[in-house]
Amino acid sequence: QKERVVTEEEWLQKWETGKTGFHKEQGHPLLQKYLDVLLNGRSGLRIFFPLCGKAVEMKWLADMGHRVVGAEISEQALKEFFTERGVPYREEPVPGISGAKMLQSMSGNISLYCCSIYDLSSAIVGKFDGVWDRGALVAVNPCDRQRYASLMISLMEKSSSYLLVTVSYDPNKHKGPPFYVPETEIKSLFGKLCEIKCLEKANDFSDRHREWGLDYFLEVLYILKFVA
């Protein structure tokens, strides 16, 4: 899989043609189950959703009093998020990123950046107390993983909690995305600065995965915390 490159156009096309089997309309059960681990007893957090799509949990967390920031290349996905959740929003350009725009809820507690995630920096979006990475690390091209991990580390506050979902399957049977990311690679990407703990391996096998030629498909949830 390491040579595989998925272009921005291919991702945009998935949204345009409705090939978004990765979207969970009911929210993600692992986030619901481990929300306390992400929040760690804290309220009013800034929480980042990398490659957010139209994740329903963004409204869920905003309604709890947190401030949510997302990054997504598909403007369609972001607009669908606001319209489907019934959240009024405004659009504005992003200073310093040509062609980018930010779609923000009128109440200001949800800010979604429509641009390449690699165009973002802490100077533009600030730093975060929590990260929900479901479908992001496993979607970035394998050749970009180091760049992605470095960006994410630069966006994390030292006290932050980073919930990371990866997927496990036989990578010889499916070219990705989502890409198989073994625990050894997570340790090499984040292990120098973060303590990494596996919280759960959940069976997520479905007909879609059977069509890919797979006979098992697991979601693997990790918590990453900066080592002080």
Please indicate if the annotation marks 158 as binding a ligand: no
Name the domain count of the chain: 1
pLDDT in tens, 96-152: 999 999 999 999 999 999 999 999 999 999 999 999 999 999 999 999 999 999 999
Q: What are the residue ranges in the chain where pLDDT is below 70?
A: 228
Quick check: is 48 in a domain?
A: yes
What is the spatial distance between Cα 224 and Cα 227, in angstroms, rounded to a whole number? 9
Quick check: is 219 in a domain?
A: yes
What's the CATH code of the domain at 51? 3.40.50.150
> Quick check: 66 and 46 in contact, CB under 8 A?
yes
What is the spatial distance between Cα 44 and Cα 65, in angstroms, rounded to a whole number? 6
What DSSP state is assigned to residue 179?
P
Domain that holds residue 182: 27-71+116-226
Helix crossing, 75-85 with 8-16: angle to 10°?
Answer: 40
Please indicate if the annotation marks 134 as binding a ligand: yes
Please indicate if the annotation marks 18 as binding a ligand: yes
Quick check: is 79 in a domain?
A: no
Quick check: is 99 in a domain?
A: no
Quick check: is 150 in a domain?
A: yes
Please indicate if the annotation marks 51 as binding a ligand: yes
Collapsing DSSP to helix, strand or coil, 183 comes out as helix
The whole model's pTM is what? 0.97
Tell me, what's the pLDDT at 228?
Answer: 65
What DSSP state is assigned to residue 13?
H
Quick check: is 53 in a domain?
A: yes
Quick check: is 110 in a domain?
A: no
Please indicate if the annotation marks 12 as binding a ligand: yes
What is the spatial distance between Cα 179 and Cα 184, in angstroms, rounded to a whole number? 14
Please indicate if the annotation marks 212 as binding a ligand: no
- Cα separations (Å) of 128 from 2, 34, 43, 158? 30, 18, 13, 9
Please indicate if the annotation marks 164 as binding a ligand: no
Quick check: is 180 in a domain?
A: yes
Please indicate if the annotation marks 116 as binding a ligand: yes
